[in-house]
Structure 1
């Protein structure tokens, strides 16, 4: 697992607070956010695919069955297992297909997870997006969580857009295109901005007695 240093994140938070009042408000609540980290594995990519376009509760149930069926979720086990039995865990055919194409890309070396760790964010993102089944949201979350890329940014994340709307006092939140354009102001620390907004969301959830997202 890779994460930027606390000092680097703090410096970025201070710079972002000078750029965007909404982020300054979030920083005032969260302080330096804890970086979300995961091991740089195939399992993280597969899990992100499973969690797309379904509720968290449903995805939790599906992923739990996948883990119970496979044990350790690795490219080798996915490619070698009974595909219909794996699909019976609750996977749609497209998601099962994506899990297989990602597994095959890792197995044949087209996708090198170790290389992603040391590549710059643009090269790493391009390598991920070259694999069928890995879209921008999946790629950017992987680069944030597993590679600690401070400028990776999950475009279209509804929680981030809603948090920024509320912190800005807007009645209507920006659409994806407008929010992505606004986030350009946060370079090269868009990933830190995402952590500030997620941190603020979870602080608000904690006030309401709701578990963190």
Structure 2
């Protein structure tokens, strides 16, 4: 049975309640953590460019770079991205590797990738369509599905903040890698993405308020992602 999409505060609260019933450890974690805010990414080309720009750099750096790109382009869409010279992105601080991924993404859209249509696909199909684009790895796909579509089971196992929160919350000897994080999260199906949101909140608490979640809260300025393991 498909789970309701997490697209409202009520839906997120209900999903957190269900997760807490599913695993007492998550109930205890929720009691220790600030409530995860409702976060959202635009479910379009601009949202994916946001995530690409946010890979592997600090939140502050990502905000600055993406802000310069947006200011230079005006609107982040297929036409503006296609018309912009490489120098615009490089001058804004975007790396050549990320620029290559943006170019691959725009080429995929021009070749028929329907980003809006991904919302109607099964999660595995949508994820496969995204990771088929050179430079878009599992983390970017999972974060997009989680926050752009509100898919409650999309779990970015490669996210360092999620991994570190798992280590601290579960008392593990070492930070789990992606495969280990996926094994741990199996217990939380079909709410693994909701668990990730709770883990980001726990990480935030333990870092004195430094947010590491890879999508902006609806009520906050844009807050890009921290890391992708490609």
Question: TM-score scaled to structure 1, two decimals?
Answer: 0.86
Q: What's 2:29 paired with?
A: 26
Q: What's 2:104 paired with?
A: 101
Q: What's 1:212 paired with?
A: 211
Q: Are 1:137 and 2:136 an aligned pair?
A: no
Query: Contact between 1:151 and 1:187, CA under 8 Å: does it hold in 2?
Result: yes
Q: Which runs of 5+ in 2 are unaligned?
A: 213-230
* Structure with the largest fraction of helix: 1
Q: Which runs of 5+ in 1 are unaligned?
A: none
Correspondence 1:59-208 to 2 at 5 A: 59-109=62-112, 111-205=113-207, 208=208
Whole-angstrom CA distance in 2 between matches of 1:136 and 1:64 = 25
Q: Following TM superposition, where does structure 1 have runs of at least 4 consecutive aligned residues deviating by more than 6 angstroms?
A: none
1:212 to 1:54, Cα distance in 2 relative to 1, 3 A: closer
Instruction: Report the Cα offset of residue 19 of structure 1.
Output: 4.4
Whole-angstrom CA distance in 2 between matches of 1:59 and 1:8 = 29
Aligned Cα RMSD in Å?
2.2
Question: TM-score scaled to structure 2, two decimals?
Answer: 0.80
1:9 to 1:100, Cα distance in 2 relative to 1, 3 A: same
Whole-angstrom CA distance in 1 between matches of 2:153 and 2:161 = 18
